[in-house]
Amino acid sequence: MKLKTRLIIAFFVILFVPFLMFGIAFLGFSKYQMQAIEQSYGVPVSWDTLSDTMQVIGKSTQKVFEKLKMQAEQDPDQFLDEAYLEKMNLEMEEQPAYLLVRKDNELYYNGSGENVSKLFSELPAFREFSSSSDGGSYIGKDVKAFVKQLDVEFSDGSEGSVFIISSTKKIVTQTKHLLMDLLLSIVVILFFTAALLTIWIYTGINTPLKKLSEATERIKNEDFDFELNETGKDEISELCRDFDEMRIRLKNQAEEKEAFDRQSKELISNISHDLKTPITAVKGYVEGIMDGVADTPEKMDRYIRTIYVKANDMDRLINELTFYSKIDTNRIPYHFSQLNVTEYFDDCADDVGLDLRERQIAFTYMNTIDPETMIIADAEQLTRVINNIIGNSVKYMDKAKKKVELRVKDAGDFIQVEIEDNGKGIPTRELVSVFDRFYRTDTSRNSAQGGSGIGLSIVKKIVEDHGGRIWANSKLGEGTTMSFVIRKYQEVPAGE
């Protein structure tokens, strides 16, 4: 789940869940307190009356008050009969209420059995009663009582008042308990809602972050052999997948670097070996000249020619290594221009043919291209391609009668150049690798042949930089054909 979605859900949960839970808690606690009040005061309690506690207290003694009121109309002197007063007082025994009777300004009857001097001093005077709720009034301060007052005149002319005193301590206590329970429920609900949401969001974020942290530590230690299997759709899971892709790229780069370092060491070893052979030969022939072994003009000429050939071999190896470094940094110096295909390959065939014939290798050249065909190419680098391919072919020839054939053919929008030899051939499974850097077929035999293993990789790079492609076909024991194509140059009319 996306982090944005989690936060939206958390927002609405915080907004609505506490209200819902508080509503449930309020209903539960209120119902409990209503039942407790009903048991204490003996009257049914509703949601309306629960908000007016004085009304509840007033209703609890209403029946007794009505009886007293009727008695006051019939015979007020009955309130001077203690037996009657005890009887009426007993009717309120189940409610926290009792009777008080005042005659003139003196306490005549106390149904509580306790000291009520403080309450008595706060009672309303005769004919000064003001009802605040259901025919009664609340006396606060230290008394905290609900009072119903009935004023009467006795037969002897004295004034009296009958009071129903209801204690508010129990209902106030229960109301306080309700408020405390509701307040506590709010705190608990908010705490657990926040805690559960925090755990939910933290778990959703921390689990992938922990994996990410462990992965970072492993990459720091160059350990790429692990995988972050995060299938979630949240932002951090997407980050983990991106991180895993980066790990794969870093792993591939590390493997490529390791392979490159290994190949570079192999290249240095090959070049060192290939340089050692001509240097040893040059030293031998120079020592022969210095020791007077070349004592005839013919020997001297042969020694000098051999030294020259070996020096050229060393120069070729050094040039190849230098060119390879330019390939690796993409700094090959190209100078593209329009070349006439027939003229260029005719000249190239003359140079190559002369060199091959001196080596006793039969050379054949065939060109079926229209004489006006042009290409855009770097003549020097294209010559390098031809020479590298032919040089590679000559290196691995194993037959008594060696031959090389150069063919230039029309291939639609391209020219196709084929160089075929009758060497020992290349296994089919290795054809896809012959253009890889440092690749050498049968290295145990190639060590004697020499070669750095980068010649054909240079060829492929140059051909591809010309917008062409190169491939090889071969049969073991029969020979190999290297083919490459380069697009023809076509002038586009100015209006198009």
What's the rounded mean pLDDT across residues 435-454? 56
Q: Minimum mean pLDDT among 124-128, 201-205, 312-316: which range?
A: 201-205
How high is the pLDDT of residue 105? 86
Q: pLDDT of 277-304, one tens digit each?
A: 788 888 888 988 888 888 888 888 888 9
- Beta carbons of 180 and 109 less than 8 angstroms apart: no
Q: Minimum mean pLDDT among 122-126, 147-151, 322-326, 403-407: which range?
A: 322-326
User: Residue 450 — pLDDT band, cuts 50, 70, 90?
Assistant: very low
DSSP structure string for 285-299:
HHHHHHTT---SHHH
- Beta carbons of 408 and 461 less than 8 angstroms apart: no
The answer to whether residue 65 scores a pLDDT higher than 90 is: no
The answer to whether residue 411 scores a pLDDT higher than 80 is: yes
Which is higher by pLDDT, 20 or 440? 20
User: Residue 34 — pLDDT band, cuts 50, 70, 90?
Assistant: low
The answer to whether residue 441 scores a pLDDT higher than 70 is: no
How high is the pLDDT of residue 345? 95
Which residues lie across from 359 on neighbouring strands? Answer: none
How high is the pLDDT of residue 444? 40
Count of CB atoms situated within 10 Å of the CB of 303: 17
The answer to whether residue 88 scores a pLDDT higher than 70 is: yes
Q: Give me the CATH code for the 332-487 domain, please.
A: 3.30.565.10
User: Residue 449 — pLDDT band, cuts 50, 70, 90?
Assistant: very low
What is the token pair recorded at 478?
A: 């029969």
Distance CA 58, CA 252 (A): 89
* CATH topology identical between 235-325 and 332-487: no
How high is the pLDDT of residue 480? 93
Question: Which amino acid is present at 7?
Answer: L
User: Residue 132 — pLDDT band, cuts 50, 70, 90?
Assistant: very low
Distance CA 72, CA 237 (A): 86
Classified by CATH at the fold level, domain 76-167 comes out as: Beta-Lactamase (3.30.450)
The per-residue pLDDT of the chain, averaged, comes to 80
Q: pLDDT of 164-178, one tens digit each?
A: 888 776 666 666 776
Question: Which amino acid is present at 409?
Answer: K
Q: Minimum mean pLDDT among 74-78, 192-196, 354-358, 436-440: which range?
A: 436-440
**pLDDT-above-90 percentage for the chain:** 18
Q: At what angle do helices 62-74 and 53-60 cross, to 10 degrees?
A: 50
Strand order in 97-103's β-sheet?
106-110, 97-103, 159-167, 145-153, 137-139
What's the rounded mean pLDDT across residues 263-280? 75
How high is the pLDDT of residue 446? 43
How high is the pLDDT of residue 215? 84
User: Residue 233 — pLDDT band, cuts 50, 70, 90?
Assistant: confident
How high is the pLDDT of residue 406? 95
How high is the pLDDT of residue 115? 84
User: Residue 342 — pLDDT band, cuts 50, 70, 90?
Assistant: very high
What's the rounded mean pLDDT across residues 3-27? 75
What's the rounded mean pLDDT across residues 56-60? 70
Q: Give me the CATH code for the 235-325 domain, please.
A: 1.10.287.130
**pLDDT-above-70 percentage for the chain:** 81
Q: Given 3-state DSSP classes, what are the helix, strand and coil percentages for the chain, each rounded to the nearest 5? A: 55, 15, 25
**27-31, 173-177, 351-355: which has the highest mean pLDDT?**
351-355
User: Residue 242 — pLDDT band, cuts 50, 70, 90?
Assistant: confident
The answer to whether residue 479 scores a pLDDT higher than 80 is: yes
Residue 471 — φ and ψ, nearest 5°? -150, 170
User: Would you list the domain boundaries of the chain?
Assistant: 76-167, 235-325, 332-487
The counts of H helices and E strands in the chain are: 13, 12
The answer to whether residue 147 scores a pLDDT higher than 90 is: no
The answer to whether residue 371 scores a pLDDT higher than 60 is: yes
How high is the pLDDT of residue 259? 77
How high is the pLDDT of residue 338? 93
How high is the pLDDT of residue 407? 95
Environment class of residue 233 by beta-carbon count within 10 Å: exposed (0-12), middle (13-18) or buried (19+)? exposed
